[in-house]
Structure 1
Amino acid sequence: MSNPSPPQAKKEAIKQISSIWLVPVIAVGIGIWMLFQFITSQGPEITLKIDTAEGIEVGKTEIKALNVKVGVVTSVTLNEDYSAIEVTAQMDKDAARMLKDDTLFWVVKPRIGKSGVSGLDTLLSGAYIQLRPGKSENEQRTFKVLDIPPVAPPDAKGLRLILSHNEAGKLGVGDPVLYEGFTVGRVENVSFDTASKKAHYQLFIFEPYNSLIRKRTRFWLTSGVDLQMSAEGFNLKIGSIESLITGGVSFRVPRGREPGELITKQKSKFRLYNNIKEVRERFYEDYLEYVMLFNESVRGLQVGAPVEYRGIRIGTVSKVPLEMIHSDKNFSNKDIPVLVRIELDRVKSHVYYENLEMLKASLKEEFNYGLRASLKTANLLTGALLVDVSLFADEPAYKRQRYGDYDVFPTKAGGFAQIQKEISSFVKKINNLPVEDTLLTLNKTLDTSQQTLLAAEKVAVELNQLLAQKETKAIPGEVRNSLQQLQETLNGFSPDGVPYQNLEQALVQFEQVMAELQPVLRQINEKPNSLIFSGEKAADPIPVGGRQ
């Protein structure tokens, strides 16, 4: 008996998808949406070039604008030639409109500088990079990070000026710009032009002080303490407390000068002077140049020393000494050439001359009348000299001379050199006196006096013998009394007598004086200036900086 086959199950494919798969699908969708939101919310990526990465940390150092976060540092690497640091930062979407070619970046960290103390809030939070939005129409993605914060923004109200000087290092960024001691601006930038070999200093004058800048405004360096020792004596000036620490630059229109038109053009150029004295000197642009030849020491005569006529300044010493052009190899016969300027404006303040030609013709005529220049001590304490011009009626007529390309201004020894010359003349007269002949004559006179006294003594002895005789005693009393008086008179000339002793003592003292005078006369003959200076040779001065 056969068994029936078991029933077979029917297979049927299920077409319905399980709802559990909705969970990963939704998760993927959310991820894609979040990625899209992240990508669309991101701003541009920028590159910052900085000298040092001090205080910069990846993922922590923020970029802020007006204390609002607008980006974050994502990487810090060295550039290809290892000369700088390249910082990559991811900016927010809203920060894209700030990134122009005039946008500025700098690192904010604690600073103690010329402009004060800043960045103290970063002691706890850490350094961050400050962004100052640009105003240009051109976008940019690579920037140079400034070493220090900028003095003023590009669109700040004020005036930018460029000062030029032959030397660098005179000013630094942040140094104050002063007007009558008040800070009205700052040094914004410092650069050096290799073509012109001049340093350029960019200033920013804040509004409304830019109205003080005129065409004839002059700028000069200001140090905290300015001490000058010159022919005028000591000059001490003390600036503001800030300039006392950092220095700075001052400006104004020199007193007595027309200010000129107002300067409104940005980055107008001016010259930077070393001090206010140099500013004043530069206004005397019309002058005559002369060479003065001195046959005395010019030690103490410096460039800038005044040339005066009876105490009134008429010029300035330009160069001490001027290059010698003579071919004579005997150095001791050379005069020292000094170049001076006779300035028209200084002379015109006392005697009017229309131009330099009139001044030159007048000086040429005055030379024939005895106008001469000489050195004169201007300051006994510092030893500074000045050139003194005066009239000497006894001087001979002057014959025009040339020294290279310059006319020669006639000179005359003066001051201490003249005194020394007179002393030398006096010593020569003393040396020419017949001192030795006088001493010989005096010795002969003393010998004659000695013989006379001996003869008188002999007569006195003979007279005593005569009076002792009986025949003499028989002479009447009146005659005897006369002889006795004569004897007493003659006894006074004996060696025991007072006149004889006084005369002998005087002769001894005179011989002692003449013996003591011999070394003095010998020293005067050998060193005529020993009456003023010590005979001992002074030791050479040793510079303080050269001691070890």
Structure 2
Amino acid sequence: MSDPKPPEAEEPQVAEVVTGERSRLSAVWIVPLVAIAIAGWLVWTTLAEKGPQITIRFRSAEGLEPGKSVVRYKAVEVGKVTSIQIAADLSHVLVHAELTRGAERLLAEDSRFWVVRPRIGAGGVSGLSTLLSGAYIEVDPGKGPPATEFEGLEEPPVVLSDEPGRQFVLVADALEGITRGSPLYYRDIEVGEVLGYKLAEDGRSVEIVTFVRAPFDRLVRADSRFWNTSGFEIGTGAGGFYFRMQSVQAMLTGGIAFGEGKGEAAEEGSRFPLYASYRAMRDSQLDDAREYLVYFDGSLRGLKPGAPVEFRGIEVGRVTDVRLVIDYETGDVRIPVRIAMLPERLAPLAVSGGEARPPADFAEKLIARGVRAQLKTANLLTGELVVDLDIHPDAPPAELRTENGVPVIPSVPSDLETITSSMAELLDKLSSLPLAELIA
């Protein structure tokens, strides 16, 4: 009997391995990546909002503190001081500041920076608000090419760059009380300031830079005259004692005034002479006047340069020179009085048929009608004399002659001389009478 066949052994079943992509990013890395993204965003935001860095040179950093002192434009904060260091040559300090985004428009080559702190100057007291808030840097934007390094001003500018107006240069022999910030007046109205001054290249005069605000700058003409109003004027003249003062501020801090001319509007940067006083300016009008000579027989005590020349009470000129002339050959002593007639005063009198005639023809015509020069007392207290021109019908005929090219106006004795002469003649007649015989 045979053994039964064993059953076939069953093959073991092998599990099929299913492969799939396993996630390469673990949840553990999510937090660092988010942190990096946030940090990057913060860095980008900081860099995007960061403004320009600038450096300003000052002689001293008085009142400035890093991290506290700010930079302002029109009372708006546009930056902050980040650090302050001493320059390598020890002559100044370097103030580093960071401005806000968009402040690049304020940074030009000619932009001006200065420290605002309490100051006492010609214009009064300024910067009192910094007693509580602390000193800060003010900026006045320019219009030149961009820049990041600047030379700071030690004093605030008198006029900001956006102030409408024009600058003019005045030339004077000396400052005579004029300072930076001194006011400019027109008809007693303050219309500008003195920006600064410097010695001329030849060293013989002082150049004063002034600024006249709009719309008053249109009043400055090519023939305008400027004069110094510092202090006050006092003296005596044909009209008696005179006293002139522009204002208390001008007396204390200096000032300049000007009058309206009749020419074209002056261009910016035009140069004008600055006269020492109002009287000096008024006398300068004689530079364009017509000169005449007058000879008087009597005493000239009380007649001096600057005395008025009047025609029937209207001032038409001034005495410019009184001097003694001796002819050593003949021994004659003469005292020529040089006078100057103002053209604008003579023109209305010279009108004939609607046209103005030359002053020489005008004077010749008046002399033919009997116009003569005569000395008159203008002030009994001071004894000042004036030259009076008037028509004297009884005067002997005369013609207008010239002496070295200068017309000579004939004269007549003064009223005092006439009275004195009459009294002398009367006394001579009385002395010639036989009074003793008549009394007997």
**Structure 1 length as normaliser, TM-score?**
0.56
Kindly indicate whether residue 256 of structure 2 is the aligned counterpart of residue 249 of structure 1: yes
Residue 350 of structure 1 corresponds to which residue in structure 2? Answer: 349
CA distance in 1: counterparts of 2:383 and 2:421, whole angstroms: 20
Instruction: Answer whether contact 1:73 1:90 (CA < 8 A) is retained.
Output: yes
CA change 1:296–1:120 in 2 (3 A) is same
Separation in 2 of the partners of 1:120 and 1:367?
69
Match of 2:165 among 138, 145, 159: 159
For residue 506 of structure 1, what is the aligned residue in structure 2? Answer: none
Greater relative contact order: 1 or 2 (C-alpha under 8 angstroms, separation 6 or more)? 2
Partner of 2:339, secondary structure, is strand
Higher helix share: 1
Q: Which residue is 2:339 aligned to?
A: 340
Indicate how the Cα distance of structure 1 residues 93 and 159 shifts in structure 2: closer, same or farther if over 3 A, else same: closer
Identify which of 295, 319, 335 aligns with 1:293: 295
Match of 1:69 among 63, 71, 80: 80
Distance 1:310 1:93 in 2: 73
Instruction: Report the Cα distance in structure 2 between the residues aligned to 1:136 and 1:228, rounded to whole angstroms.
Output: 52
- Indicate the residue corresponding to 2:35 in structure 1: none
Q: Give yes or no for contact 1:161–1:270 (8 Å, CA) kept in 2.
A: no
Deviation by residue 1:275-328 (Cα, 9 ceiling, x = unmatched): 6666667677764311122344434334333222332333322x2225x56542
Verify: 1:320 aligned to 2:321, yes or no.
Answer: yes
Quote the Cα distance in structure 2 between the aligned partners of 1:183 and 1:355. Answer: 38
The question of whether the paired residues in 1 share the 8 Å contact of 2:165 and 2:215 is answered with no
Letter in 1 for 2:194: V
- 1:138 CA displacement: 5.4
Deviation at 1:402, TM superposition (A): 4.4
The Cα shift of 1:188 comes to 1.9
Matches within 5 A, 1:96-135: 100-123=108-131, 130-135=138-143
CA deviation after TM superposition for structure 1 residue 173, in Å: 1.9
How many Å separate the matches in 1 of 2:99 and 2:117? 26
What letter is aligned with 2:386?
Answer: L
* 1:149 maps to 2:156: yes
Q: Which secondary structure does the structure 2 equivalent of 1:200 belong to?
A: strand
Give the deviation of 1:175 after TM superposition.
2.0
Distance 1:385 1:392 in 2: 19
Distance across 2 between alignment mates of 1:61 and 1:295: 84
Partner of residue 190 from structure 1, selected from 187, 197, 203: 197
Spell out the pairing of 1:414-429 with structure 2 (5 A cutoff). Answer: 414-429=414-429
State the TM-score, normalizing by the size of structure 2: 0.68
**Which one-letter code corresponds to 1:321 in the other structure?**
V
Three-state SS of the structure 2 residue aligned to 1:364 is helix
Distance 2:291 2:302 in 1: 21
Query: Would you say the 8 A contact 2:54–2:148 is kept in 1?
Result: no
Q: How many residues align?
A: 385
2:144 corresponds, among 111, 136, 149, to 136
Q: 1:144 to 1:327 in 2, by over 3 A?
A: farther
- Partners in 1 of 2:369 and 2:276 — Cα distance? 40
Q: What is the one-letter code of the residue matched to 2:171?
A: H
- Partner secondary structure for residue 95 of structure 2: strand
Task: After TM superposition, give the deviation of residue 160 of structure 1 in Å.
Answer: 1.8
Is the 2:53–2:148 contact (alpha carbons within 8 Å) kept by the matching residues of 1?
A: no
Q: Write the distance in 2 (CA, Å) between the matches of 1:405 and 1:193.
A: 37
Kindly report the root-mean-square deviation, in angstroms, between the aligned alpha carbons of the 2 structures.
4.5
For 2:43, the equivalent position in structure 1 comes to none
Q: Which has the larger radius of gyration?
A: 1
Q: Which runs of 5+ in 1 are unaligned?
A: 1-36, 80-84, 446-548
Note closer, same or farther for the CA distance 1:412–1:252 as it changes in structure 2 (3 Å cut). closer
Change (3 A) 1:290 1:123: same
Judging by fraction of residues, say which structure has more strand.
2
Please give the alpha-carbon distance, in whole angstroms, between the structure 2 residues aligned to 1:419 and 1:276: 38
Q: How far 1:373 sits from its partner (Å)?
A: 1.3
Identity score, percent: 30
Q: State the 1:103 CA deviation.
A: 2.6
Shift of 1:360: 2.0
Q: Deviations over 1:395-453 (max 9, x none)?
A: 44446654444232222331434434444444555555667xx39x98xx8xxxxxxxx
The alpha carbon displacement at 1:149 in A equals 1.3
Corresponding position of 1:9? none
Distance 1:106 1:286 in 2: 47
Note the residue ranges of structure 2 that are not aligned, 5 or more in a row. Answer: 1-45
